[in-house]
Amino acid sequence: MADTTTRAKVRWGLLDVAVVVFALTPVLWIMSLSFKTPATLTDGKFIPREWTLENYRTIFATDQFVRALINSIGIALIATTIAVVLGAMAAYAISRLDFPGKRLLIGVSLLIAMFPQVSLVSPLFEIERQLGLFDTWPGLILPYITFALPLAIYTLSAFFKQIPWDLEKAAKMDGATQGQAFRRVIAPLAAPGLFTTAILVFIFCWNDFLFAISLTSTERSRTVPVALSFFTGASQFEDPTGAICAAAVVITVPIILFVLFFQRRIVSGLTSGAVKG
Amino acid sequence: MAEIVLDKVSKKFPDGTTAVRDVDLEIADGEFVILVGPSGCGKSTTLNMIAGLEDISSGELRIGGQRVNDKAPRDRDIAMVFQSYALYPNMTVRENMAFPLRLAKLDKETIAQKVEEAAKVLELTALLDRKPANLSGGQRQRVAMGRAIVRQPKAFLMDEPLSNLDAKLRVQMRTVVSRLQKQLGTTTVYVTHDQTEAMTLGDRVVIMRGGAVQQVGPPQELYDHPNNLFVAGFIGSPSMNFLTAKVEEGTLRTALGDVPIGDRIRRELEGADAPRELILGIRPEHFEDAELIDEETGRRGMEFTAPVDIVESMGSDKYVYLSVEGERATSAELEELAADAGAADFSGAGSNLVTRLSAESTVTEGEDRRVWFNLEKIHLFDPSDGRNLTLHEGRAAGTLAD
Amino acid sequence: MSVNATPAGADVAADGTDTRSGRQAVLPGQRDNRGGKPPLSENKRAERRLGWLLCAPAALVMLAVTAYPILYSVWLSLQRYDLRFPAEREFIGLQNYATVLTNEFWWTAFGVTMLITVVTVAVELVLGMGLALIMHRTLVGRGIVRTSALIPYGIVTVVAAFSWRYAWTPGTGYLANLFSDGAPLTERASSLAIIMLAEIWKTTPFMALLLMAGLALVPEDLLKAASTDGATAWQRFTKVMLPVMKPAILVALLFRTLDAFRVFDNIYVLTSGANETSSVSMIAYNNLIRGLNLGIGSTMSVLIFITVAIIAFIFVKLFGTAAPGSDDGERR
């Protein structure tokens, strides 16, 4: 018996290792490239022979990258905040109130989740040019909110449905006002769901490339993924590979931190929102 | 502490349904009143209206002589124990119990002292720093009680507080609730769908059906003198047996033979619109093995023979199931009761009598047995409205009464 | 379902707004605006009002940024409209559609997109199922596996695409040196294979997570019962787990298929669409942003929208995918 469990453990262990290697190799590879010196960059070795931080120094010295990083962070944070707030309002209504049009809202957000974003690129390009939103932060924030909302609504309504709303009544019986009941009982329970949703929405906004490259034209509002594709290096004649890799690693850091610290929450958020919703 | 008065209280929902209809109820200071009935009878809605969690559509609610219809729950000074316990998961037991006191802005020392006291009464002292997630069902239930008693409210409202516990613990907690209520002497309204809880706990029981009060009274009175078919069928376990009884030539034709009737019942049945078909109700304990009956007792009842289906020996007595021919009695009330018990679609063929005979009886499964039943304890109901015809001035006296 | 989605959505938006303004109009008189139905209690009306109020911002943003532009896109697609020659703007009916639909580049891109969609989704389903089983059942290091599997999901697609590009760049890349002498990203077949590899790497974890949620729905007792009934591991998988997981699988397939059809980032970074590796998203983008031809770009946008709608329709009709959320009522 003990023998079979040990064998089973070894077998699972090997599978686990395979998964981990498969998942991490491309990430480790781009990290490795970012630490290579220009001389060893093209040696094709997976592990750098000479380590350097030069590439990072380069990108943080260029206005192009710093500006894009600020744009990325700012746009993603604002879009996330708005999407989570609007999504929470709608999700509360969906999970707690009864009103005509509720199913319709669920249907519409489902459709938007499946919507081909590229279909919006042409009309939004034209509309935003007319409205003066082209190549501005709001010009990107708006479509991000739109496509993040279905995700936010589904995830949050799944979370809200798990909150035992009897507690609201209990708090009222214990002498709380509506406001106190919300602040001291419901809000602490809803916070983890809001936080998880915010992470998912942030990842979505942080990741976008299509809107960012179509609806921007200058450094004014270009985000990092787009800036990466335009990178030319410090001078025209320098190979940008090292710089691109360093920049890529920088924008991967927040994702890795999220995944490391909130793995459980991200998994529960994704699955509850996607399958039940 | 205070008395609670419901004066023609009704609740209408927006879709037009009436959940509670003209409930009149006076609950005395310190009294323990049980609201009982099948699901959907309006008992929880009534409780929620007393709590202030639901609006009162019409009528008046007074607590301690004061009209509170429009007061928020927090201004009524009453505490509630929920079926789900509704413990705040983000707070420890101590914080849960202190929550109402902190909202009432008491100073820290008083809060600490009151929580300690309540915890001692409910034997929660060792658990004060745990979170609800780390407590057993019974412990959570006690915390919910603790949170209610800690601020010494005018009244306790309990919404099926024991229904999430397993059977053994439920019996145990029943005595805890009962003792606590007597000790504190606080007016208590307790909602349950379990008639055993209703019988054992309350000073008075209110039986509800379809939003209306059927009967109010001490448990024994409801048991002995039910107003109607519904109350008779709802109270008692195993429940009362019901048989059809045809009125013919001054007697009642039943599957158990012809049942004689006394003058008073005869007069009831003489009217032109009097029912030709009645429902006869006999409680299981009013049967006895004919062999064990002395002549004196025997004269107060009558005997019949029926095949014995199943014998369940309980030690103290025997539950004997007899097969009798003839149709099963039907009425709206009985169907509702069956549906509530979950037996609506499982009735078997013919009808079955449940009897409770002495342990000394030598009855065996499969034989035909002579069985006696007490005519002074049987009830007759009008199937059209469920009224108990044997009731006279609130007292049931069997079919033979003059 | 999706085909008339936008018109329906727009209808309802109009309807919703009507009702709302209608309500305001009659509120002072306290008259119920919903004809034959019984009057609503104040409470119920307040609940409705609150529900609408809370949903309105989200609904308005979503409709404003999708419904209006897609209609506008239809309008643009009926015009000759090239930003380089704005003077020549005119209404030309369906001529743009004829141009696009008779263009071999469009059909090549369409074929590429279909190929990528079918192959990646099929491979992801198999790999994702395996990964889901590993994440669900593994005896050791479950946390580590789940954490590493989430990294491809979370990472920026462009970053991953660069990683793959450099891995296959001759000289620089560890993979290029390992597997081939030439430059794989300059040949069509190998380019497409690498694009699909990048897609599969990135999205298998998401597929696996969806499937894992389905796996969690399989009652442990059911599997035990099946093994006592003498089912082998494979039979347990096909006869017990798959049927229970079917709804989760279909939802995962639907989402992934539509998502795969939008493939853009990886192609942009890996090949820029060279050697006939463009997807429909890629050529729509090229026509619009590089070619500045709004008319043709919009035509492609509309065609892609219709294709996606057809795919969704097929899924819903043919496989009976319960549209997520359709069972909303009391789904918990």
Task: Answer whether residue B372 shows pLDDT above 70.
Answer: yes
Percent of chain B scoring above 90 in pLDDT: 55
* B220/chain C closest Cα distance in angstroms: 41
Q: How far is CA C23 from the centre of its chain?
A: 37
Predicted ipTM of the assembly: 0.88
Report domain extents, chain B: 4-226, 230-396
Q: What is the pLDDT of residue A232?
A: 63
Are residues A37 and A152 located together in one domain of the fold? no
Given a contact as 3+ CB pairs under 8 Å, which chains touch A? B, C
Task: Answer whether residue B342 shows pLDDT above 70.
Answer: no
| CA nearest to C44 within chain B | B14
Average pLDDT, stretch C42-56?
Answer: 81
Q: How far is CA C199 from the centre of its chain?
A: 13
Are residues A198 and A73 located together in one domain of the fold? yes
Q: In this complex, which of A166, A184, A189 lies closest to B82 when CB atoms are compared?
A: A166
Helical pair A187-207 and A137-162, crossing angle rounded to 10 deg: 140
Q: What value does the CA radius of gyration of chain C take, rounded to a whole number of Å?
A: 25
Residue A263's pLDDT band, with cuts at 50, 70 and 90, is confident
**B38: closest CA among B174, B234, B175?**
B234
Average pLDDT, stretch C29-37?
Answer: 38
pLDDT tens per residue, range C257-276: 988 998 999 999 998 888 88
Are residues A45 and A80 located together in one domain of the fold? no
Question: In this complex, do B55 and C43 lie within 8 Å of one another by their Cβ atoms?
Answer: yes
Q: Find the angle CA(C57)-CA(C60)-CA(C66) to the nearest 5 degrees.
A: 135
Q: In this complex, which of A164, A176, A189 lies closest to B103 when CB atoms are compared?
A: A176
B14 in C contact zone (CB under 8 Å): yes
- Residues of chain C contacting residue B15, judged by C-beta atoms under 8 Å apart: 38
Strand order in the sheet with B287-289: B287-289, B368-374, B301-313, B317-324, B351-358
**A164: closest CA among B82, C44, B54?**
B82
Average pLDDT, stretch A154-176?
Answer: 87
Average pLDDT, stretch B360-379?
Answer: 92
Question: In this complex, do B90 and A188 lie within 8 Å of one another by their Cβ atoms?
Answer: yes
Q: Point out which residues pair with B310 in neighbouring strands.
A: B321
Q: Find the angle CA(A161)-CA(B104)-CA(A189) to the nearest 5 degrees.
A: 20
- The structure tokens 């409470």 sit at C43
* A69/chain B closest Cα distance in angstroms: 38
Look at strands B251-254 and B257-260 and give their pairing: antiparallel
Question: In this complex, do C157 and A229 lie within 8 Å of one another by their Cβ atoms?
Answer: no
Helix/strand/coil for C221: helix
Q: What is the pLDDT of residue C7?
A: 35
Task: Answer whether residue C155 shows pLDDT above 80.
Answer: yes
Are residues A41 and A66 located together in one domain of the fold? no
- Give the whole-angstrom CA distance, residue A137 versus residue A121: 16
A interface test, pick of B50, B82, B91, B111 with most A CB neighbours within 10 Å: B82
Q: What is the pLDDT of residue A74?
A: 96
pLDDT tens per residue, range C234-261: 888 888 888 888 888 888 888 889 889 9
Residue C29's pLDDT band, with cuts at 50, 70 and 90, is very low
- Give the whole-angstrom CA distance, residue B143 versus residue B82: 11
C40 in B contact zone (CB under 8 Å): yes
pLDDT tens per residue, range A229-258: 887 655 555 678 888 899 999 999 988 898
Q: What is the pLDDT of residue B331?
A: 80
- Residues of chain A contacting residue B105, judged by C-beta atoms under 8 Å apart: none
pLDDT tens per residue, range B233-243: 999 888 899 98
Q: What value does the CA radius of gyration of chain A take, rounded to a whole number of Å?
A: 23
Are residues A34 and A135 located together in one domain of the fold? no
Q: Point out which residues pair with B303 in neighbouring strands.
A: B372
* A195/chain B closest Cα distance in angstroms: 16
Q: What is the pLDDT of residue B313?
A: 93
Question: In this complex, do B74 and A185 lie within 8 Å of one another by their Cβ atoms?
Answer: no
Could you tell me which residues come within 8 angstroms of residue C281 by beta carbon, excluding any fewer than 6 positions away?
A116, A118, A210, C113, C262, C263, C264, C304
Task: Answer whether residue C330 shows pLDDT above 90.
Answer: no
Residue C42's pLDDT band, with cuts at 50, 70 and 90, is low
- Residues of chain A contacting residue B82, judged by C-beta atoms under 8 Å apart: 166, 169-170
- Give the whole-angstrom CA distance, residue A53 versus residue A56: 5
Average model confidence (pLDDT) across chain A: 86
Q: What is the pLDDT of residue A4?
A: 64
- Give the whole-angstrom CA distance, residue C115 versus residue C192: 9
pLDDT tens per residue, range B122-175: 999 999 999 999 999 999 999 999 999 998 999 999 999 998 889 899 999 999
Are residues A5 and A112 located together in one domain of the fold? no
C43 in B contact zone (CB under 8 Å): yes
Residue C34's pLDDT band, with cuts at 50, 70 and 90, is very low
Residue B224's pLDDT band, with cuts at 50, 70 and 90, is very high
| 8-state DSSP, B240 | P
Q: What is the pLDDT of residue C36?
A: 41
Phi, psi of B96 (to 5 degrees): -60, -45
* B220/chain A closest Cα distance in angstroms: 33
Average pLDDT, stretch B195-223?
Answer: 93
Question: In this complex, do B55 and C44 lie within 8 Å of one another by their Cβ atoms?
Answer: no
Are residues A26 and A147 located together in one domain of the fold? no
pLDDT tens per residue, range A74-87: 999 999 999 999 99
DSSP string, C193-207: HHHHHHHHHHHHHHH
Domain that holds residue A181: 58-276
Q: Point out which residues pair with B26 in neighbouring strands.
A: B5
3-state helix, strand, coil in chain B (%, to 5): 30, 35, 35
This prediction's pTM: 0.79
Residue C19's pLDDT band, with cuts at 50, 70 and 90, is very low
- B238: preceding bond cis by omega (within 30 degrees): yes
| 8-state DSSP, B349 | S
Question: In this complex, do C264 and A33 lie within 8 Å of one another by their Cβ atoms?
Answer: no
Q: What is the pLDDT of residue A204?
A: 92
Q: What is the pLDDT of residue C5?
A: 34
DSSP string, B39-86: TTSSHHHHHHHHHTSS--SEEEEEETTEE-TT--GGGT-EEEE-TT--
Q: What is the pLDDT of residue C180?
A: 65
- Chain A positions contacting chain B at CB under 8 Å are 164, 166-167, 169-177, 180, 184-185, 188-189
Cα–Cα distance list, C92 to A25, C71, C77, C82, C302 (Å):
52, 17, 9, 13, 16
Q: In this complex, which of A164, A172, A174 lies closest to B147 when CB atoms are compared?
A: A174
For residue A187, give the amino acid letter. Answer: A
Task: Answer whether residue B341 shows pLDDT above 80.
Answer: no
Total domains, chain A: 2
| CA nearest to A170 within chain B | B86
Task: Answer whether residue A165 shows pLDDT above 90.
Answer: no
Task: Answer whether residue B121 shows pLDDT above 70.
Answer: yes
Task: Answer whether residue A205 shows pLDDT above 90.
Answer: yes
3-state helix, strand, coil in chain A (%, to 5): 75, 0, 20
Q: What is the pLDDT of residue B272?
A: 66
Q: Which residue has the higher pLDDT, C81 or B100?
A: B100
Q: Which residue has the higher pLDDT, B313 or A277?
A: B313
Task: Answer whether residue C18 shows pLDDT above 70.
Answer: no
Are residues A133 and A1 located together in one domain of the fold? no
Domain B230-396 fold is OB fold (Dihydrolipoamide Acetyltransferase, E2P) (2.40.50)
Helical pair A137-162 and A118-131, crossing angle rounded to 10 deg: 130
Question: In this complex, do C72 and A127 lie within 8 Å of one another by their Cβ atoms?
Answer: yes
Q: What is the pLDDT of residue A97?
A: 83
C36 in B contact zone (CB under 8 Å): no
* A93/chain B closest Cα distance in angstroms: 19
A interface test, pick of C313, C328, C331 with most A CB neighbours within 10 Å: C328
Question: In this complex, do C41 and B16 lie within 8 Å of one another by their Cβ atoms?
Answer: no
Are residues A23 and A109 located together in one domain of the fold? no
Average pLDDT, stretch A192-215?
Answer: 92
Question: In this complex, do C40 and B14 lie within 8 Å of one another by their Cβ atoms?
Answer: yes
Helix or strand run (H / E) with residue A241: helix A241-271
Characterize A182-208 residue by residue with b for buried, 16 or more Cβ atoms within 10 angstroms of its Cβ, and e for exposed.
eebbbeebbeebbebbbbbbbbbbbbb
- Residues of chain C contacting residue A158, judged by C-beta atoms under 8 Å apart: 332
Question: In this complex, do B13 and C41 lie within 8 Å of one another by their Cβ atoms?
Answer: yes
pLDDT tens per residue, range B18-44: 899 999 999 999 999 999 998 889 999
* C22/chain B closest Cα distance in angstroms: 21
pLDDT tens per residue, range B251-307: 888 888 888 888 888 887 877 677 888 899 999 999 999 999 998 888 889 999 999
- Give the whole-angstrom CA distance, residue C27 versus residue C20: 10
Average pLDDT, stretch B58-77?
Answer: 91
Residue C162, both tokens? 């660069």
- Residues of chain C contacting residue A145, judged by C-beta atoms under 8 Å apart: 61, 65
- Give the whole-angstrom CA distance, residue A200 versus residue A43: 38
Are residues A129 and A221 located together in one domain of the fold? yes
Residue B68's CB is within 10 A of a number of other CB atoms, namely: 20
Q: In this complex, which of B78, B86, B104 lies closest to A167 when CB atoms are compared?
A: B86
- Residues of chain B contacting residue C43, judged by C-beta atoms under 8 Å apart: 14, 55
* A178/chain B closest Cα distance in angstroms: 10
Q: Find the angle CA(C173)-CA(C175)-CA(C178) to the nearest 5 degrees.
A: 110
Q: What is the pLDDT of residue C320?
A: 62
Phi, psi of B357 (to 5 degrees): -105, 165
Residue A246, both tokens? 């360093």
Q: Point out which residues pair with C65 in neighbouring strands.
A: none
Residue B390's pLDDT band, with cuts at 50, 70 and 90, is confident
Task: Answer whether residue C128 shows pLDDT above 50.
Answer: yes
Q: What is the pLDDT of residue A37?
A: 86
Q: Which residue has the higher pLDDT, C153 or C322?
A: C153
Cα–Cα distance list, C156 to A114, A136, B252, C199, C285 (Å):
20, 21, 87, 12, 20
Average model confidence (pLDDT) across chain B: 89
Average pLDDT, stretch A135-148?
Answer: 93
Query: Given this chain, do its domains B4-226 and B230-396 carry the same CATH topology?
Result: no
- Give the whole-angstrom CA distance, residue B319 versus residue C21: 68
| CA nearest to B51 within chain A | A173
Domain C99-318 fold is MetI-like fold (1.10.3720)
CATH node for B4-226: 3.40.50.300
pLDDT tens per residue, range C62-116: 988 888 888 988 988 898 888 888 888 888 888 889 988 998 889 999 999 999 9
Percent of chain C scoring above 70 in pLDDT: 81
Residue C38's pLDDT band, with cuts at 50, 70 and 90, is very low
Residue C283's CB is within 10 A of a number of other CB atoms, namely: 26
Strand order in the sheet with B212-217: B78-81, B155-159, B187-192, B32-36, B204-209, B212-217
Percent of chain C scoring above 90 in pLDDT: 23
Are residues A198 and A121 located together in one domain of the fold? yes
Task: Answer whether residue C327 shows pLDDT above 70.
Answer: no
User: Which of A78-87, A209-218, B246-255, B328-337 bottoms out in mean pLDDT, i.e. has the lowest?
Assistant: B328-337
Are residues A181 and A68 located together in one domain of the fold? yes
- Give the whole-angstrom CA distance, residue C138 versus residue C149: 14
CB hemisphere CA count around C104 (13 angstroms): 1
Q: What is the CATH number of the domain that holds A136?
A: 1.10.3720.10
Q: In this complex, which of A171, A172, A189 lies closest to B89 when CB atoms are compared?
A: A189
- Residues of chain A contacting residue C159, judged by C-beta atoms under 8 Å apart: 30, 225, 228, 248, 251-252
